[in-house]
Every structure is written in C-alpha cells, then in structure tokens.
Amino acid sequence: MKSMHWIGIDDHADKWTIAHLVNDESRPADEFELVPNEFGYRKLIAFAKSLKGEVRIVYEAGPCGYELYRRLTKARLHCQVAAPSLTPVRPGQRVKTNRRDAAKLSGYLRSNELTFISVPDEARESLRDLMRARKSAQKDLLAIRNQIGKFVLRYGHRYRDGKAWTGRFWGWLNKIKLDGYSQSVLDEMIITHRHRLEQRIRFDAMIEEAAKRPEYAPFVAALAVLRGIDTLSAMTILSELGDLRRFATAPQLMAAVGLVPSEHSTGDKTRRYAITKTGNAYVRHIAVEAAWQYQRRLTTGARIKLRRKNQPKALVDIAEKCDLRLNRKFHRMTSRGKRSTVAAVAVARELVGFIWAIGQIVHP
C-alpha cells in the first residue's frame, strides 16, 4: 500500500516550521525548522523527494507571497496554498506556536478541511501589483487633497465657486498667502499633491498600455459592454480573479467577492445580516461603484454604443438584460424604503453574476 505524506509549513520571513505526518498517524513523524534561503529550499525539496509514496504540501497565504509554492511546484512537488481566513480554529484553543500551526495545517490537509486559493501566475501577479499600486496612488492623492482642504480651512479659506481641484480652484489656492512656516507647509503639500498626481497618471498610462495587449484586450472589451465597467475596472477584475471559468456558478463568484449576506440560523429562526465582506475587497469595491450607474434612467449614449459596437451578439444581449434587470431592481428596492446604499450593494451582487456570465464566454 502506497504511503501518504502530509507536510504542513508555517511560513515566516525568518524561518519555516515544518511538520510531517505519515498516513493516519496522530503525531508528526518529523518536525524541524529551515531558513527560507537557497540552502533551505534545497533542503526542503530534498526531504520531500526522499519520502516514499505520495507527498502533499500546504502552507497559508501571507506576506511572503508565492515564491515557496512556485519553487516546490517547479520541483514537481504537489503544493497548495490555504486561505488563512478559512482555516478552522477551535474555540477553546488558547496556545498558538509555529510548531502547532504547522502540525495543524498538515492535519487539516489530511482531513480535507482547508480551502485553497488560486495562485496567480507571475504575469497576473505582476499585473495585480500594478493595479493595486494605482489604487494606493489614488488613495494617497485623495488623502493629500483632504489635508490641503482642511489646512487652509483652519486659516479661514474655503473654496465656494464650484468644484475643487479644477483650474479655477488652483488659481484660488495659489493666491492664498499664509504667515511664517504655514506657507512653507502649504507649499510642501502642493508639491506632494503634484508628485502623487503625476504618479497616478503614469500608472494610468501603464494600465492603458497593458489593456491593449492581445492576451487582455478581448476580455477587457467584453466586460466593458456593461455599464460602470471601464478599462480600469475590467483590468482590476482580470488581475484579481483571472479566469472566471474556475467558478462553477455565479453564486460562487459572489461569495468569493464577499457580496452574499451573512446568516445565523438555528432551529426555526433564520437571521440574515449585512454582506460577509470575506473575499476580494478590490473587486467588491469595483462592483459597488459600478452598481450606482444603474440608479439612473437608462439611456444608450455614445460611449456605451461605442463599447458594444462590433461585440458578439451574446455579449450585447447579456449587457442589455443586465441594464433592465439591475435598473428595475435598484428602483424597486428604493421605492420600498430601502436605503440607496443597501440597494447598490444588492445590485452589485447581481452585477457580479453578469460579469461571471461574460467570463464564461470570453476569458484571458
């Protein structure tokens, strides 16, 4: 009978703690530590390959990334990466050590109690880094704008002649003269704003260039037939989720994005609460932002016509069905007294279903 070997690794920046279970044994046959360097990789791979039988390896996703997974996979070892938020936790367990975590992972791997993530290839991870960097740049830009507005407000200056951050706004801001070091602080804030704006512009240019690549362009154009989904949104979905065919049903994708309601039911009582928010926050944000487009009266403007032009009929049919269904849902919910924010989240959940449907037709 072929032996089964279950190896759990507690992955840390300074060391790996490794626990090795054999077949159905309750105690680890081996427990040891390695430094995550070239020698550590060679030692770990040599140990796994020296075992007679089938070897399964697991570690939890974390700040150390997927280098360990890629090294082991390249060495033709079966490695999987577990989602840490879905790893079972016993309520009465109050002792946590690296050794216990490694042994726990190997045991859960053997009993099939872990949920695994889809590890992106290097190209998609690189694209994801770009998209997340752009989001961080946008967040930093909004932060410095908020700081500037609050800073000049303390000295009695408030712009009241239209929208902020326009050419007229900058003309108004540049006329403000403060005393002493306060003017120097404001000047530094303005310099910081310029740098962050230029950084965001550079990221946008890189994203536009990436979206035109032949492996991405068809998928981006297909998702853009939906209202509220532009190049930036489509590239975020692509970089975060990859091939949507790995989700067997639309509800699976909705759950992966964290847009399904949480529930606590016992006996005859069923209680549903807010959405779980246990999933990809970047795609969830994109979906909720796009959902607000369905609050408006439906019109087929020049921009949406251009997006749907020359697209397959199946995609256009999905988009038109999405328009009618989500617009109707938004207005039905708000007319029943639901807050518009609640309606937007419900619409976002169904929008993800239409995104899934398009992903079954066109995929990267």
Which DSSP string do the residues of 258-282 spell out, in sequence order? T-SEEEEEETTEEEEEEE---S-HH
**Of 86-100, 153-167, 326-340, minimum mean pLDDT range:** 86-100
Bridge partners (DSSP) listed for residue 20? 7, 30
Please, which residues have CB within 8 angstroms of residue 168's CB and are 6 or more apart in sequence? 161, 162
Amino acid at 157: H
- Beta strands in the chain, from DSSP E residues, in sequence order: 4-11, 16-22, 30-34, 54-60, 78-82, 261-266, 269-275
Q: Which domains does the chain have, with CATH numbers?
A: 4-110 (3.30.420.140), 122-211 (no CATH), 218-361 (no CATH)
Q: Which pLDDT tens digit goes with each residue over 275-312?
A: 999 889 999 999 999 999 999 888 888 899 999 999 99
With tokens 């005393």, the residue in question is 179
C-alpha 26/C-alpha 218 separation (Å) is: 51
- Decide: helix, strand or coil at residue 223: helix
User: What mean pLDDT is predicted for residues 150-154?
Assistant: 97
* pLDDT above 80 for 1: no
C-alpha 102/C-alpha 20 separation (Å) is: 9
Bridge partners (DSSP) listed for residue 10? 17
Closest CA to 59 of 79, 76, 89: 79
Q: What integer best gives the mean pLDDT of the chain?
A: 95
Q: What are phi and psi of 204, to 5 degrees?
A: -60, -40
Please, which residues have CB within 8 angstroms of residue 330's CB and are 6 or more apart in sequence? 291, 294, 295, 343, 344, 347
Residue 59 contacts residue 11 (beta carbons within 8 Å): yes
C-alpha 220/C-alpha 229 separation (Å) is: 9
Q: What is the pLDDT of residue 115?
A: 93
77 pLDDT band (50/70/90 cuts)? Answer: very high
Residue 216 half-sphere exposure, CB side, CA atoms within 13 Å?
Answer: 20
C-alpha 105/C-alpha 113 separation (Å) is: 9
Residue 293 contacts residue 228 (beta carbons within 8 Å): yes
Q: Which pLDDT tens digit goes with each residue over 154-197?
A: 999 999 999 999 999 999 999 999 999 999 999 999 999 999 99
Q: Which pLDDT tens digit goes with each residue over 56-65?
A: 999 999 999 9
Q: What is the pLDDT of residue 297?
A: 82
∠ CA(272), CA(277), CA(280), 5° rounding? 145
